[in-house]
Structure 1
Amino acid sequence: MAWDTERTRRRLLDAATAEFAEHGLAGARVDRIAQAAGVNKERIYQYFGKKDDLFAAVLGTRLRASMDDVPMTGVGADAVGDYAGRLFEHHVADGVIPRLVFWEGLERGPAAAAAAARVEYHREKLTRFQALLPGVDRDTAGELLLTIVSLVNAWPVLGQLDRLLVGDGSGTDRVAERRAAIVATATAAASAALERAR
């Protein structure tokens, strides 16, 4: 019977996603990934190379999927706020991307910013985002997108700060409140950027 290469790759990516999200790059173990995927660990090296390359493949796959799952639509400040709100919902529901991005920042830092695939992904994401803001230059759009991504990614992994700064949220829908705050911030910042561009 022929080996189903694509199915094996998917199983390895799924197992690696769970492992890296939980333990980070340094704490992840290739043998646990292989066991969870039900394959020999040599398959990991055969398909992905070293552990750093597998981490990059996992994060790249998740980021690409999120760009399709959360499209940027419309034009203007409200479109930016809408995008920020939907991206927040996506990341809260999934939780994996924020964890992977934080692990990447802690463990890979500048090396991640030099990876060709990541550079291309972010170039494309920024181009799509800039289309929401006619007349706004690329650097300003980049600052605004960085602000949105930082806000959206931080909340799912920094829950302790939410409790320390806002409280336990007893009797409130804390997710909805945080989403509203992010949407308001993104909308206001986009309005200011558009006004300056005029």
Structure 2
Amino acid sequence: MATFTPPAADAVRARLLLAARDEFAAVGLASARTERIGAAAASNKAQLFHYFGSKEGLFDALVTRTVTETLAEVPLDVDDLPGWAGRLHDAAVARPWMPRLLTWHRLERATEVPLPAILTRDADLVAAVEHAQRAGVLPRSYRPAVLLGLVMHLAVFWSTTSAEFDPLVQAVTAPRRRQVVVDAVRSLLGT
């Protein structure tokens, strides 16, 4: 069976996104260097600007892709929010760069125009939670957006703790960390 070979343009764009992921996760948007991204992608700065328009355009494309791919892999399950939080935790563990990238986005792009794809995705998730609350599947103890935000933050809790906090919880094993997330969401829901 023949393997699919993406067109050269798609391959260059994919390499730029991968190199950008590593650069942005490590140093953020302001300190990232387009020359380093281009070199790491076996491409150049001109290609980066051709495909993404600017360093900020590349960063925004990467954040959008990261969120979109993660939520496609881990679709919201309002019938099992604790299980969904566990799967979201697993996605963050499998992508150690993801929480860092999203933190840099929050720190460096929060005052910019919100990313349309993420706004749409968030609105859809909140609407699903609200629908589940109205149907009695989820409790109404929190507004839909607040409940969703709490669950999402609990899911990535272990991926976002500070270096100073890590020694205090180093005895908590990886499987136990996941279970803590699931149990915390259950408790939040009162189930």
SS at match of 2:77: coil
In the TM superposition, what is the alpha-carbon distance from 1:16 to its structure 2 partner? 0.7
Q: TM-score, normalised by structure 2?
A: 0.83
1:184 aligns with 2:187: no
Correspondence for 2:118: 118
Q: Deviations over 1:109-134 (max 9, x none)?
A: 2325x332321121123334445543
Contact 2:68-2:118 at 8 Å conserved across structures: no
Correspondence for 1:27: 31
Q: TM-score, normalised by structure 1?
A: 0.81
Q: 1:103 to 1:74 in 2, by over 3 A?
A: closer
User: 5+ unaligned residues in a row in structure 1: which ranges?
Assistant: 193-198
Q: 1:86 to 1:64 in 2, by over 3 A?
A: same
1:42 aligns with 2:46: yes
Please, which of 60, 70, 73 is the counterpart of residue 66 of structure 1?
70
In the TM superposition, what is the alpha-carbon distance from 1:43 to its structure 2 partner? 0.8
Correspondence for 2:90: 89
Correspondence for 1:163: 166
Correspondence for 1:142: 145
Instruction: Count residues in correspondence.
Output: 181
1:57 aligns with 2:57: no
Question: Does 20-29 or 180-189 show the bigger shift?
Answer: 180-189
Distance 2:165 2:18 in 1: 30
Correspondence for 2:156: 153
In the TM superposition, what is the alpha-carbon distance from 1:71 to its structure 2 partner? 1.9
Q: What is the root-mean-square deviation in Å for CA atoms of aligned residues?
A: 2.3
Q: Deviations over 1:63-82 (max 9, x none)?
A: 1111111122361xxx0100
Q: Match of 1:44, as an amino acid?
A: L
Q: 1:68 to 1:117 in 2, by over 3 A?
A: closer
Distance 2:109 2:21 in 1: 16
In the TM superposition, what is the alpha-carbon distance from 1:32 to its structure 2 partner? 0.5
Identity of aligned residues (%): 29
In the TM superposition, what is the alpha-carbon distance from 1:143 to its structure 2 partner? 0.6
User: 5+ unaligned residues in a row in structure 2: which ranges?
Assistant: 1-6
